[in-house]
Structure 1
Amino acid sequence: MPKKDVKLSQNVNSNGKRKKKKNKRPISKFMTIFMIVSLALLIFQIIKLNLLPAKLIVLVSLIMVILCLIILLILHFKAKKFLPRILAGFIALCMCMGLAYGNYFIFKTDNTFDVVTSLADSKATTTSIVALKSSSIKKEKDLKGKKIGTILDMDKKPTKRMLDDLNKDNIKYTTKDYSNLDELMEAFYSGEVDAICLNEKYRDILHETQAYFTFQTDTRIVHQNVHYTKVEKNDNPSDPVNDISKDAFTILVSGNDSYGTLQDSNTRSDANLLLTVNPKTGTILMTSIPRDYYVELVCPDDDPELACPEGSYDKLTHSGLMGVKSTEETIEKALGIKINYNVRINFSSVVNLVDALDGIDLDIKKGEEVDIFYVNSQPGLSVGKHHVDGETALAFARERHAYLDGDNQRVRNQQKVFKAIFKRIISPKMITNYGKFMDAIAVAFDTNLSGDEISKFVKYELDNMPNWKIESYAIVAEPDYQFCYQSQSYASVVAQNDVMNEIAKKKIQAVLKGKSSTIVKDPSGYSQTASEDNAVGNTEELQNMGILNSSGNTSSEYEEDNDYGYDYNQGYDDTEYYNPDDQYYQEDTYEESNYQ
């Protein structure tokens, strides 16, 4: 029989039917296709992201291509027997998973940059009608025939929007106007008015006033108006350096005292940290300013609603009620410096970021310990090393009541938390938690740094891998009692320290010029570390306020009126309120009216 006939007979079974050729190793073929497509997509995304230096892109791409080729050659041509095939298949599977994770890694980075470098497109102003819980007013309809207190001089447009709201709902009421927040609250608690019209930005000002600390638990909201104002890019311009990878710069990290997103109305700036970065020397100087520093406000001159007379003084934290740019320019005026960029974060940012990093490590020294956290009445931190979650890190960063020098220790705590976060970010743990880390940043993080500037700085970091030296300085100030513009009343503040202002300025200038801030000596006499007897505790204070019972546990009455279960990832559905075509969304034009 000819050879051709013999070969043909081998492909025919006993019934004379041709045998079908089996599809050999379909899993290997699938992994090959997946690996090639994933590799091509990854290289494309790396180039598009524009984060890595060109030489690093070429090197990484070349290494990945060669590695894939070696794995595919072994998988298809070298691994003939069962065990080698299994081993080669496992290696190929690992490579596929690595490429898939790499694509996810790059996608998350690109997506986060898009979010954090684009300012929120609108901000909300929330105004409420507030009544005492002990009153008969429970719903909007119960306001009929009631007297509502207002503060038109302080809050004209939001008040008018709210009262117009009530008029549209056919609620018949009367109003009585007061000149400031103090007078309004006195009338409210004395029964002179049945309810008050309150811009929600003032709620925290009331909470920080001893006389109205229980306002949150004493009252209920019976009606609310949310108004959105469009935010433009030029509302928060930067003062950029020529080359962020070479030129030193200063950036303000402003910590808003709010949860959720940064789209909500402007809130107090609870933390004010200046980072002066010199890429050439690899130095970062942290300069902290007390939250209650009594400073001259720099108000927005393009917004009549937020404008203030020249020479208006208030706590630095209240500058945040007029926006981050007001806080930035107020600090520039107080210290005589230039700030190039700003970053806004909030409570959710800190909690989500720390949790995304699987916690941070805090080494609590004598004088820094806390028995009970004031902000949530949870157990504090004793002297020693602790691995803490986001909520604990935030509570520690906000604590001042447990210390003899209050606000001064709070800024030290904030610096300690920031250093711990930075240390965790540059640790190997960051790789496994990268996705969660990017999600955390996108939730409540906003900056006027451009995407190109961030990209350029990251390129510099990857190209040079500088050994960053972190230096710190905190301005210390003494308690005082002064008139505050935002509340139009007297309040506890901390007086400016002219000597330390000048020292802070010189230290910042030293780093900008390529030197260490430590060359600038501090003659103020104030220590940058806590004294051993600084931690006086706050248990007695919380018991006196009814927050803790005699056993040191949260009182049942207080728990009923307070919900600590914050949703740190909460979002807000504004479709009920937000309409770009609404007349209020455009430029507000109101006639002068008297609602008395």
Structure 2
Amino acid sequence: MKKEKEKKFNKLNIINILNLIFITLFLVLLLKLNIIPKKYMMIITVSLTIYELLCILLTNLKFKVTRIIGIVLSSLSIIGCGVLSYYLYTGNTFLDKAFDNTKTENTITYYVVTYKDNTASNRNDIKDTVYYVNNDSNIESAVNYLKKYTSSNITLADDVTTLFTMIANKQASFALLSNSSYEILFDNNKDLKRDNYKIVYQFNIKVKNKVSKSTSNNKEKFNIYISGTDFANLSDFNMIVTVNMKTHKILLTSIPRDYYIPVYGTNGIKDNLSFIGVNDIDTRAKSIENYFGINFDYYLKINTSSLVGIVDAVGGIEYCSDQSFTTTHATILNSYDDSKGKKLYIKKGCQHLNGVETLTVARERNAFAGRDRQRQKNCQAIIVDIFDKLKSVNTLTNYTNILDSLSDLYETTLPRDIIERIMKDTIDGANWSFDNQSVDGTDTQDLIHLNSMKGWVMYPMDETIVSAKAKINEILK
């Protein structure tokens, strides 16, 4: 009889031991996540300890009904802590690789282009002179790579537009340029038709990333540079985010993509901001720093094409427009050739958009009189819409898919502890206040892409720069 009681006692306490293990696992993972304020962490720990002691007490009383209640409570705790531990583990794994995750090298794609009816079809057919334009900081690496595989002369040309006109007229045979330069060329020269050319050879080179992990110690007041790049590594979206952790104030300063400012390291050559530092965010960030007279402590580089993944992961967004318009861009990915897809009609009012449709709206500026000014407003509205979906209860059911979508969305020098501090302060009731501003200018045309062609730019208005800088400094006080 005594042995039977001991066996029953041991069996009942196995569930208590399992419960203790799962509660401990949950608390360890929650502590590692480091977003719960100490006072709440203490409350959770004490509450779960009392809960475990209650389960032990109930399962060890001599009454059958109390034992059943104890078993049920322990089982519910094991299931609950097990599920929550899974989500905490997923979140911790994501955060471990999500911050200070700069790449050590970048891959750049280069094309050798010729006229459409040239019989050349691969690398071995490149026999005539190959021309290139010095509008790319990595072009010499591409030239050296190509020299290994062809005996053709590789010669510097003065102007990429003239070069491609000569190729179309069969006055030259081959041009070497990056995929970014290729897209910039056709996007800014409507007289040049893609159908008149073909890519004979395509290759990749790897270059070291000039931006390493941040050495900034500023954790209370700091500037973050946010750059949204497209498939061709052009910066479509530029923003200065100024944060004061003590006052809980955040200032968003938007910079038009066509802003015409001096390029860092070029002795004053000006360029369209979206073309500055293609494949090199460090050059673009330093150009903005010098022009605005500020310092960036961290940067966040977002792949805007990956925006499609997160919008689809949250089930699309509700986008509301104060005007109806048809996009000049097509609903396509990884191309500026809008002849290959359908345009998107946006009605006045609210409508549901999927990922590709959201990206199409985010890219659009030519359909508006205000061009990039209206585009910035649309992007801000899209960001708010995405955050609204991320906060919804339905998003929890798609938690892991959303984290998977986020994993390739960006790279940043932001350390994890800053994000943890923001989340911890928010949970603790901090009232974050957001303000926004935009610098402005005059739309015109000028030399772009390091003086290799003409295109749209925006001459900055000095008074808006002075005003923006003053507001930034006010937040940093």
- Cα RMSD of the aligned pairs, angstroms, is 3.4
Residues in 2 aligned to 1:187 and 1:364: alpha-carbon distance in whole angstroms = 44
Is 1:187 aligned with 2:166?
A: yes
Residues in 2 aligned to 1:335 and 1:258: alpha-carbon distance in whole angstroms = 27
Shift of 1:430: 4.9
Shift of 1:398: 1.3
Q: 2:214–2:297: 8 Å Cα contact kept in structure 1? A: no
5+ unaligned residues in a row in structure 1: which ranges? 1-6, 12-19, 260-266, 300-307, 514-596
Residue type of the partner of 2:242?
A: T
Shift of 1:487: 5.1
Higher strand share: 2
Aligned to 1:57: 41
Moved segments of 4+, more than 6 Å: 23-30, 87-90
Residues in 2 aligned to 1:208 and 1:461: alpha-carbon distance in whole angstroms = 43
Picking from 242, 263, 267, the partner of 1:276 is 242
Residues in 2 aligned to 1:321 and 1:391: alpha-carbon distance in whole angstroms = 24
Residue type of the partner of 1:139?
A: N
Is 1:48 aligned with 2:14?
A: no
Residues in 1 aligned to 2:64 and 2:305: alpha-carbon distance in whole angstroms = 55
Say which SS state the counterpart of residue 51 (structure 2) adopts: helix
Shift of 1:441: 2.4
Picking from 432, 436, 461, the partner of 2:401 is 436
Q: 1:150–1:159: 8 Å Cα contact kept in structure 2? A: no
Residue type of the partner of 2:238?
A: N
Picking from 92, 112, 115, the partner of 2:94 is 112
Residue type of the partner of 1:206?
A: L
Q: Which moved more, 1:310-319 or 1:115-124?
A: 115-124
Residue deviations 1:97-116 (CA, integer Å, cap 9, x gap):
32223222222232223323
Residues in 1 aligned to 2:95 and 2:152: alpha-carbon distance in whole angstroms = 49
Residue deviations 1:384-410 (CA, integer Å, cap 9, x gap):
123433322222221112111211111
Residues in 2 aligned to 1:510 and 1:397: alpha-carbon distance in whole angstroms = 30
Aligned to 2:336: none
Residue deviations 1:75-129 (CA, integer Å, cap 9, x gap):
67588469x95x8766655433322232222222322233231211211232222
Residue type of the partner of 2:241?
A: L
Is 1:370 aligned with 2:325?
A: yes
Aligned to 1:477: 441
Q: Aligned pair in 2 of structure 1 residues 353, 153: CA closer, same or farther (>3 Å)?
A: closer
State the number of aligned residues: 465
Alignment of 1:153-552 (within 5 A): 156-167=139-150, 172-211=151-190, 214-215=193-194, 218-231=196-209, 235=212, 237=214, 239-241=216-218, 244=219, 247-258=220-231, 267-299=233-265, 308=266, 310-321=267-278, 323-366=280-323, 369-372=324-327, 374-376=329-331, 377-463=342-428, 465-486=429-450, 488-513=452-477
Shift of 1:352: 2.5
Say which SS state the counterpart of residue 410 (structure 1) adopts: helix
Q: 2:277–2:283: 8 Å Cα contact kept in structure 1? A: yes
Q: Aligned pair in 2 of structure 1 residues 72, 207: CA closer, same or farther (>3 Å)?
A: farther
Q: Aligned pair in 2 of structure 1 residues 440, 81: CA closer, same or farther (>3 Å)?
A: same
Shift of 1:161: 2.8
Shift of 1:505: 1.8
Residue deviations 1:523-571 (CA, integer Å, cap 9, x gap):
xxxxxxxxxxxxxxxxxxxxxxxxxxxxxxxxxxxxxxxxxxxxxxxxx
Shift of 1:456: 3.0
Shift of 1:68: 4.1
Q: Which moved more, 1:62-71 or 1:198-207?
A: 62-71
Q: 2:327–2:361: 8 Å Cα contact kept in structure 1? A: no
Q: 1:375–1:398: 8 Å Cα contact kept in structure 2? A: no
Shift of 1:272: 0.4
Residue deviations 1:269-325 (CA, integer Å, cap 9, x gap):
1100222223344332222111001111114xxxxxxxx2x1110011112415222
TM-score (norm 2): 0.85
Residue type of the partner of 1:222?
A: V
Residues in 2 aligned to 1:27 and 1:395: alpha-carbon distance in whole angstroms = 61
Aligned to 1:560: none
Aligned to 2:334: none
Shift of 1:347: 1.8
Alignment of 1:566-581 (within 5 A): none
Residues in 2 aligned to 1:343 and 1:78: alpha-carbon distance in whole angstroms = 61
Q: 2:263–2:276: 8 Å Cα contact kept in structure 1? A: yes
Residues in 2 aligned to 1:78 and 1:38: alpha-carbon distance in whole angstroms = 26
Residue type of the partner of 2:346?
A: L
Say which SS state the counterpart of residue 208 (structure 1) adopts: helix
Residues in 2 aligned to 1:25 and 1:186: alpha-carbon distance in whole angstroms = 89
Q: Aligned pair in 2 of structure 1 residues 401, 153: CA closer, same or farther (>3 Å)?
A: closer
Aligned to 1:124: 107
Say which SS state the counterpart of residue 346 (structure 2) adopts: coil
Task: Provide the identity percentage.
Answer: 23
Aligned to 2:339: none
Q: 2:257–2:274: 8 Å Cα contact kept in structure 1? A: yes
Residue deviations 1:326-368 (CA, integer Å, cap 9, x gap):
22222223223333321111124422233333333332223xx
Shift of 1:502: 1.9
Residues in 2 aligned to 1:94 and 1:203: alpha-carbon distance in whole angstroms = 60
Residues in 1 aligned to 2:255 and 2:430: alpha-carbon distance in whole angstroms = 27
Residue type of the partner of 2:473?
A: Q
**Which structure has the larger Rg over C-alpha atoms?**
1
Residues in 1 aligned to 2:192 and 2:165: alpha-carbon distance in whole angstroms = 14
